[in-house]
Structure 1
């Protein structure tokens, strides 16, 4: 019987118990933080046993687009997912080396493509290592081509014009996952050509506020956090720097029971570098 995901996050124990299941595929979606110091020591790379690297930046984003992490077309995503050996009946668990940072982006991309049998590893690689489960050095492995098919869900993706309209729409709420310093322009943007500040009428919800110790906060805590910003149950549009940590908020909102959610594709990098768009500080 094929393995099915019941919740959008799974524990290291759950993954360990299912690691040999036939239709399971483990994806390593590690990205360095854009705000990380460039002088940080690069440690030797390890991964969960039999994990497959999911390259968000160079493979699963439109590298010819003007802004980072731009979503691929459904056909391109489908083709590249097939090349990773992903099937219609695959069960995917995705993780990253930072606990929870870039892995929710992959979870959200598959949701966008109409695939829901996927979960994020809560606590990511650090939690896996803390349990002393099997790790290995990355290795090249030829994978059979999968038969994954995309069923694009356009309502989960917003563009600049959609966000511009949402500013004055009482039924929509824009939540920004960047730090409060970047939101209020008291801290610089990591990209020099991007202005500081935030989208008018948006609210600040730094992605770290829904995490604790590299894991997502409890369902009860998440419900309280999202109710505080969205007591009227509006459609949620998540933004951040380039769409990565906006996906962390999308994951948290899913666990908190919100279904009407989307991610702003260009996020603040597009908004803050485009002329004639309104900005608040």
Structure 2
């Protein structure tokens, strides 16, 4: 059996995970949420062995918040992560049944809670299945409570007031991860009643542009993409529809070596509702 592992990268391959499935401190999280444009897709019945469901929608978001996927408090995050058996010395791998979609949001949430020993499974469950790695029938976690303790690093997120301030700094680069059609307003927003539009001075980088289908592009390719928007000493601010795919861009930027970035938690759902 392998000893405890310390992750050195924010993205790991399916082969890497296969090799480390028996690590003593490994925790595998399934961070899947349905895409807002395809919410009725059939549910997956299988999972990576010993995976635990990280429920972004119903547990790790503020349920009664006016906008979807609002980040929970440090106290709530600590309590719910402990229920999943997560410890201070855990090495977390988070995957997605859709490939790369919501799993980077889980990675980013843990980062905002002061926890760095976490990585996203490149390719997620689709690639894992294609490569014939082991699977099991989905089951709920019923193990021991963990000793995880979150530490506030919420400056990685921006709220509406924070965005108003950030707009005053012309060194900021706001990148919107929505599709080009949604960014320009040619395609309506999928959420009923939400107007089309974009944050002032923002630019469009659809999250699919940093992917090769289910996996991330190479570090070199990602660096080239982000350098095309970057200026000296600038900070990236990532936005999207509701704070999910903005985190795909954040993970891609981190993997390419960029360190100055944050995510607008409410994203266009909040901005488009609160501004005219």
* TM-score normalised by length of structure 1: 0.95
Whether the 8 Å CA contact 1:87–1:148 is kept in 2: the answer is: yes
Query: Equivalent residue for 2:104?
Result: 104
Residue 11 (structure 2) pairs with residue 9 (structure 1):
yes
Q: Is 1:72 the equivalent of 2:72?
A: yes
1:175-190 → structure 2 map (5 Å cutoff): 175-190=175-190
Match of 1:114 in 2: 114
1:29 counterpart = 2:31: yes
Cα 1:133–1:229 change in 2 (3 A) is same
**In structure 2, distance between residues paired with 1:18 and 1:77:** 26
> Residues 86, 167 of structure 1: CA spacing in aligned structure 2 closer, same or farther, 3 A cutoff?
same
Give the C-alpha shift of residue 231 in structure 1.
3.1
Equivalent residue of 1:145, what SS?
coil
- Where does residue 260 of structure 1 map in the other structure? 260
Superposition map of 1:74-153 within 5 A: 74-153=74-153
Q: 1:21 is paired with a residue of what secondary structure?
A: coil
Partner deviation per Cα, 1:91-141 (whole Å, 9 max, x = no partner): 000000111000000000000001000000000001111111111111134
- Asked if 2 retains the 8 angstrom alpha-carbon contact of 1:100 and 1:122, the reply is yes
The total of aligned residue pairs comes to: 274
TM-score (norm 2): 0.96
What is the RMSD of the two structures over their aligned residues, measured on CA atoms? 1.2
1:37 to partner: Cα distance:
6.2
Change (3 A) 1:243 1:37: closer
1:269 aligns with 2:269: yes
Q: Any unmatched runs of 5+ in structure 2?
A: none
Post-superposition shift, 1:171? 2.2
Q: Is the contact made by 1:166 and 1:174 (CA closer than 8 Å) also made in structure 2?
A: no
CA pair 44-258 structure 1, distance change in 2 beyond 3 A: closer
C-alpha distance in 2 between matches for 1:261 and 1:77: 22
1:213 CA drift (Å): 2.1
Is there any run of 5+ residues in structure 1 with no aligned partner, and where? none
